């Protein structure tokens, strides 16, 4: 899963260039799939969704302005707020998608294509969710993200809700956008938006972790344990175990963390590791089931454990 190396040596310039070029291919693929989902499924079917895309769809309905232009405006405002509030480090891996994604939607908007014949809204909601989930998976895999409500959720958490997980704030923002869309597009379209949001979430999990995985185990070896431990406990609200390990190549002592979390939380952690310790060594293992006294897990005495 992970593309983070742990060799004790810095990456060579050629390796960095190759890594960047691969990143760009993934970003372009993500933008192409995401733009097709919007221009050839969502808009022709008259649908909407949450996040920045949902905000843009509302304003499109009210003003008739172009999707790409509106997306640049709203995502640019979020990037600027995040930059001014949290610093450039929090937006540098967002800027590529901020520039690239609206450009792809503008290009794709010049082709008169409708993937769902007849504008069937249920099929549109499902397949928009699948396409959008695949699009998000491609950039999550490389540690990037869209210039959307992720940044806004970080700002809200930093300034007003430090006790709440960022993923929960993002869900709340999506709910607010979808609720607002009900007044513009109608209740039925808002309900379809809930369907496509659920499909997006499940598609991301399936693409990155397979059909059966609901829990993953992460093993992280790092030279910078304090900030990572703080993020896991205070942001993800997950418990963890930790101990010292010696690298066979370097013979240096590192700290190893081991924790269980959801696939979505592992993506949040990966994005944070890019900032906290990009040289960390990460292993992700799919887990079929967990029994124990930990919060959020089934007890070993529960009925499910006996089946």
* pLDDT surpasses 60 at 306: no
Residue percentage of the chain with pLDDT more than 90: 49
160 phi and psi, to 5 degrees?
-125, -30
Closest CA to 247 of 9, 6, 10: 6
Length of the chain counted residue by residue: 307
Question: Domain span at residue 64?
Answer: 13-209
Per mean pLDDT, which of 109-113, 156-160, 167-171 is the most reliable? 109-113
* Shared-domain flag, residues 196 and 246: no
Is 279 within 8 Å of 221 (Cβ atoms)?
no
Q: What pTM was computed for the model? A: 0.76
* Shared-domain flag, residues 233 and 255: yes
* Shared-domain flag, residues 192 and 298: no
**Sole residue written with tokens 């304090």:** 226
Q: Considering the domain boundaries, does residue 268 fall inside one? A: yes
Q: Considering the domain boundaries, does residue 2 fall inside one? A: no
* Shared-domain flag, residues 238 and 161: no
**Sole residue written with tokens 């007849």:** 118
Q: Considering the domain boundaries, does residue 242 fall inside one? A: yes
Supply the pLDDT for residue 298.
Answer: 61
Q: Considering the domain boundaries, does residue 7 fall inside one? A: no
* Shared-domain flag, residues 202 and 220: no
Which pLDDT band holds residue 61 (cuts at 50, 70, 90)? very high
Pick 163 or 269 by higher pLDDT: 269
Distance CA 108, CA 125 (A): 19
**Residue 20, C-beta contacts closer than 8 angstroms, at least 6 positions apart:** none
β partners of residue 258: 219, 241
The total domain count for the chain is: 2
Supply the pLDDT for residue 5.
Answer: 47
The CATH number of residue 244's host domain is 3.30.70.120
pLDDT digit string, tens, across residues 114-131: 999 888 999 999 999 999
Structure tokens at 20: 């960047």
Number of Cβ atoms within 10 Å of the Cβ of 133: 25
Domain C-terminal end among 209, 241, 275: 209
pLDDT digit string, tens, across residues 127-140: 999 999 999 999 98
Domain C-terminal end among 179, 209, 239: 209
Sign of the torsion angle spanned by Cα atoms 173, 178, 182, 183:
positive
Is 194 within 8 Å of 264 (Cβ atoms)?
no
Distance CA 253, CA 287 (A): 28
Structure tokens at 215: 């829990």
* Shared-domain flag, residues 260 and 148: no
* pLDDT surpasses 50 at 46: yes
Three-state secondary structure call for residue 160: coil
pLDDT digit string, tens, across residues 185-225: 999 999 999 999 999 988 988 887 776 567 888 999 999 89
Domain C-terminal end among 184, 209, 234: 209
Residue percentage of the chain with pLDDT more than 70: 90
């Amino acid at each position: 899963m992970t593309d983070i190396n742990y060799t004790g040596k810095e990456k060579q310039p050629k390796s960095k260039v190759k890594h960047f070029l691969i990143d760009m291919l993934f970003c372009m693929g993500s933008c192409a799939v995401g733009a097709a989902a919007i221009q050839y499924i969502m808009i022709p079917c008259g649908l909407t969704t949450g996040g920045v895309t949902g905000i843009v769809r509302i304003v499109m309905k009210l003003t008739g302005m172009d999707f790409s232009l509106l997306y640049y405006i709203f995502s640019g405002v979020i990037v600027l707020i995040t930059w001014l509030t949290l610093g450039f480090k929090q937006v540098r891996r967002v800027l590529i998608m901020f520039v690239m994604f609206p450009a792809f939607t503008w290009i794709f908007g010049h082709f008169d294509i409708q993937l769902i014949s007849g504008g069937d809204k249920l099929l549109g909601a499902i397949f928009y969710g699948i396409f959008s989930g695949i699009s998000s998976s491609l950039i999550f895999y490389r540690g990037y993200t869209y210039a959307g409500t992720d940044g806004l959720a970080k700002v809200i958490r930093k300034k007003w809700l430090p006790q709440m997980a960022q993923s929960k704030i993002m869900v709340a923002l999506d709910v607010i956008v979808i609720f607002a869309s009900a007044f513009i597009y109608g209740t039925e379209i808002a309900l379809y938006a809930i369907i496509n949001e659920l499909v997006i979430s499940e598609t991301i999990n399936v693409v990155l972790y397979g059909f059966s995985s609901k829990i993953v185990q992460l093993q992280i070896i790092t030279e910078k344990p304090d900030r990572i431990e703080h993020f896991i406990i205070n942001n993800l609200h997950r418990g963890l175990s930790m101990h010292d390990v010696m690298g066979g190549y370097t013979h240096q002592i590192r700290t190893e963390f081991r924790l269980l979390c959801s696939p979505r939380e592992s993506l949040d952690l990966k994005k944070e590791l890019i900032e906290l310790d990009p040289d960390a060594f990460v292993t992700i293992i799919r887990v079929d089931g967990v029994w124990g006294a930990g919060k959020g897990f089934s007890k070993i005495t529960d009925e499910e454990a006996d089946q």
